[in-house]
Amino acid sequence: MKTEGRTLRWAVLALVLVGLVAPIVAGLAQTARAAFGLMPAIGAETLSFAPWRRLAGLPGFASSLLLTLVTGFGATLLALVLAAGAVAALYRAEGRLRGQRALAPLLAVPHAALAIGLAFVIAPSGWLVRGLGPWVTGWDRPPDLALVNDPWGGALILGLLLKEVPFLLLMMASALTQLPVRAELAVGRALGYGRAAVWARVILPQLYPLIRLPVYVVLAFSLSVVDMALILGPSNPPTLAVAVTRWFTAPDTALILPASAAALLQAVLVVVGIALWALAERVVAVLGRHWLRRGGRGRAGRIGLWLAPLTVAVLVLLAMAALLALVLWSLAWRWPYPQMLPDSWSLRVWADADAGWGRALRNSATIGLATTTLSLALAIAWLEAEDRTARSTARAAANTRSKTRSKTGEATRSTAFRTRWASALIWLPLLLPQIGFLYGLNVVFLRLGLSGGLAAVIWAQMLFVFPYVMIALTDPWRALDPRLIRTAAALGAGPTRRLIAVKLPLLARPLLTAAAVGFGVSVAQYLPTLFMGAGRIATLTTEAVTLASGADRRVVGVYAVLQAALPFAAYALALAGPDLHRHLRRRRHPSQPGAAPP
């Protein structure tokens, strides 16, 4: 058992290193080579800083860099403040947040679909302006206002908040289960402190370390997002990630070298941004200790307890309106301004599956299913190997405890270190910007003859799907009662049979939930499909982002609705699947205990 557990552990770790980490390193290495003038395929064979000098001279580069910093840090800070204020106001005594279930569906919506719907709502001809109407504003036609693609990045920040605030709220809700919140609130009230003061002085300082990694992921995403920035962000100049994508896909091959330099700069920018955020955490901690020593009952914080949840509620309503706008535009035939609803309806765009969205839907579903299946299988193998290694290590420690306690302690610490080090690999693709290594990885795939096919797209998407599947599955897997496994072992079941007959059936719902998360992440991938598919693999996301720049809103609405519907269907199956299976089994075998009468 000991040898088998270690063999499986190292085999899975090797597979993760070779299949997931090595492509990222290879992509970064290729990007770095091109950033310093080495790309023989286009005749660049001399190491130099010329790409960096040309990058600095490209029009709008400095503005793109500044815009990236403003939107990235601004969206992350606002999302964190709103989520922290809302969780303090909405936390209930039984340990849940009011309205928590309404947030989960928003996480299933791909970023591009939500961005398109938001653009439909806040555009000069969108619902917000239509709702005011000519009788309020005097506008008998759509105003000439930059409400979308504004030069300050306000629409992009708003779009990021629609996704990031629910994500952080759910992360906080999960982390609060590890803290004695009810007891600390009761003690604070007994000492005369207001609810806001207890949360700010006692609970949030304990909560933040538990959500630090999710915050870093939000920051990395906000600094390097492409699809939402293409739809909502400024266009001239755009954010740095969008500018890099345009340079990479431009007909002029001479732009590849400065684009590679910008991609490497984007990766450095995210790393430095996270480091600066970590430094700011220390500064806030020092200032917070001085603030705590000043005392005070915190009565002035009451305004934040109603302002933060009110803002979050507005964001949720705006997201719901964006999804509804997608559906209405996909069914509308004539929708003149300033009417709130279409004049006429039609299913003509939906009926044109063969010429348009049908192929994109098939590709998205095929890639999503393949990527999710492979990622789920790898996650199960990873966690099962972890379990077997832990059991063998525990037995070895019990056998040698009486002989040498120091060596046992060293072995245990070594195993824990390897586990933490290996688990850190899971977060690597989420903390690095995609644009920083995907084009370089595409060059590597081209040399190997792998680029341009479904297999390359599936492989590239697994780099981002597998981490989310692991994050969704790890806690339920480790929370499984170990006595059930020991009982099965005592009855003679081997490791494989215990996995198939005990663990997987008991974890059916978490497995389906993890699969739904992975499928939703796969459907939302834009850059991996664009680069690795070499423009030949059309998915709902790539088509929706491309069409959003100026195509017929009815066509865009169909693609965006389908893009949002696929993850929703996966989540619905994950929620209803186990109950439906149990119901069907009871109908087939009514004599089983607890079965419904025939």
Q: State the chain's mean pLDDT as an integer.
A: 85
CA-to-CA separations, 134 to 137, 138, 139, 141, 339, in angstroms, rounded: 5, 4, 5, 8, 10
Note the pLDDT of residue 34: 93
- 592 has a pLDDT exceeding 70: no
Note the pLDDT of residue 400: 55
Note the pLDDT of residue 178: 86
In terms of pLDDT, which residue wins out, 53 or 385? Answer: 53
Note the pLDDT of residue 362: 93
Q: What residue has token string 């555009």?
A: 123
When mean pLDDT is compared across 30-44, 188-202, 360-374, 582-596, the lowest value belongs to: 582-596
The sign of the CA dihedral 261, 263, 267, 270 is positive
In terms of pLDDT, which residue wins out, 77 or 174? Answer: 77
| Portion of the chain with pLDDT greater than 70, in percent | 88
- What are the two backbone dihedrals, phi and then psi, of residue 36, each rounded to the nearest 5 degrees? -110, 25
Note the pLDDT of residue 209: 93
Sketch out the chain's domains with CATH numbers.
1-39+349-578 (1.10.3720.10), 61-346 (1.10.3720.10)
Confidence band for 119, pLDDT divided at 50, 70 and 90: very high
> 415 is written with which tokens?
């195993």
Mean pLDDT of 191-209: 86
Q: What is the DSSP letter of 191?
A: T
Confidence band for 199, pLDDT divided at 50, 70 and 90: confident
Mean pLDDT of 479-487: 86
Q: Are 519 and 570 in contact (CB under 8 A)?
A: yes
Question: What contacts 470, CB < 8 A, 6 or more positions away?
Answer: 379, 382, 426
How far apart are alpha carbons 328 and 381 in whole angstroms? 44
> Apex CA 63: angle with CA 546 and CA 322, to 5°?
40
How far apart are alpha carbons 24 and 236 in whole angstroms? 30
Q: Which residues pair with 334 in a beta bridge?
A: 344
Residue 332: helix, strand or coil by DSSP? strand
Confidence band for 418, pLDDT divided at 50, 70 and 90: very low
Mean pLDDT of 145-170: 92
Note the pLDDT of residue 591: 53
Helices 357-400 and 553-588, interaxial angle, to 10°?
Answer: 50
Among 293, 280, 329, 99, smallest CA distance to 201 is for 293
- What are the two backbone dihedrals, phi and then psi, of residue 84, each rounded to the nearest 5 degrees? -65, -45
Amino acid at 196: A
- What are the two backbone dihedrals, phi and then psi, of residue 44, each rounded to the nearest 5 degrees? -95, 105
Compute, in degrees rounded to 10, the torsion defined by CA atoms 285, 288, 293, 298: -150
- 545 has a pLDDT exceeding 60: yes
Compute, in degrees rounded to 10, the torsion defined by CA atoms 398, 399, 401, 407: -110
Note the pLDDT of residue 107: 84
In terms of pLDDT, which residue wins out, 26 or 146? Answer: 26
What's the chain's Rg over C-alpha atoms?
26
When mean pLDDT is compared across 78-82, 200-204, 591-595, the lowest value belongs to: 591-595
Mean pLDDT of 537-546: 92
Note the pLDDT of residue 590: 63
When mean pLDDT is compared across 199-203, 237-241, 466-470, 589-593, the lowest value belongs to: 589-593
Note the pLDDT of residue 587: 65
Instruction: Please state the separation of Cα 354 from the chain's center in Å.
Output: 31
Note the pLDDT of residue 295: 66
Confidence band for 482, pLDDT divided at 50, 70 and 90: confident
Mean pLDDT of 196-218: 90
Note the pLDDT of residue 387: 81
Q: What is the DSSP letter of 91?
A: B
Confidence band for 399, pLDDT divided at 50, 70 and 90: low
Confidence band for 598, pLDDT divided at 50, 70 and 90: very low
Confidence band for 402, pLDDT divided at 50, 70 and 90: very low
Confidence band for 450, pLDDT divided at 50, 70 and 90: confident
- 67 has a pLDDT exceeding 50: yes
Confidence band for 272, pLDDT divided at 50, 70 and 90: very high
Q: Which residues pair with 44 in a beta bridge?
A: 39
Amino acid at 390: A
Mean pLDDT of 81-110: 80
In terms of pLDDT, which residue wins out, 471 or 1? Answer: 471
Mean pLDDT of 341-345: 89
- 298 has a pLDDT exceeding 60: no
- Strand-strand pairing, 344-345 and 44-45: unpaired
Does this model's pTM top 0.85? yes
When mean pLDDT is compared across 288-297, 349-358, 387-396, the lowest value belongs to: 387-396
Note the pLDDT of residue 411: 43
Residue 245: helix, strand or coil by DSSP? helix
- 82 has a pLDDT exceeding 90: yes
If you write DSSP's letter for every residue of 22-62 in order, what string do you get? HHHHHHHHHHHHHHTTEEGGGTEES--SHHHHHHHHSTTHH
